[in-house]
Amino acid sequence: MSYSPVDLTAFAEQHGGIATVRATGNVRDWNNIHYRVGLSARNVGARQLSMNVATIPPGGVALAHVHVGFEVMLYIVSGRVRHEFGDHLRQSLENAAGDFIFIEPGVPHEVFNMSDTEPVVAVVARSDASEWSNIVSYDRESGAMGGREAP
């Protein structure tokens, strides 16, 4: 799972206890997903939360992974996704624009953009201020979790 490093502090305005990140386009990538600058420990000093906007390009796949020890909530702004999840990713669920999604810690999942022409855009909130540091890869065939893949 590749990552493109960006100095996120350059995007954050600090205002004595309130931080602001102004609207940006996608400026970094991880696991085949494009991300806008959001809020995290990396730029606003968050200790328990992170939040950003993710885009899965047309036909894209966020490779199988597991969130270790933290919860994720998503709101699908546009597009349609299919989550294959659970043991060996044998279960499947589809979601579309307007849906809210909650992913419990430790649930293996892989995310597919169901369109070959339109991106999926989602607001992503995590109960982990480090964003991707506590994510590990997951092997669909063996059911094994890999090492820490994210920065």
Position 97 in a domain:
yes
**Cα dist. 117→7, 24, 25, 63 in Å?**
31, 22, 19, 19
Count, residues in the chain: 151
In this prediction, residue 9 carries a pLDDT of: 84
Position 1 in a domain:
no
Number of domains the chain is built from? 1
Q: What is the CATH number of the domain that holds 113?
A: 2.60.120.10
Q: 131-143: per-residue pLDDT in tens?
A: 888 999 999 999 9
pTM of the model: 0.88
Structural domain span for residue 17: 8-148
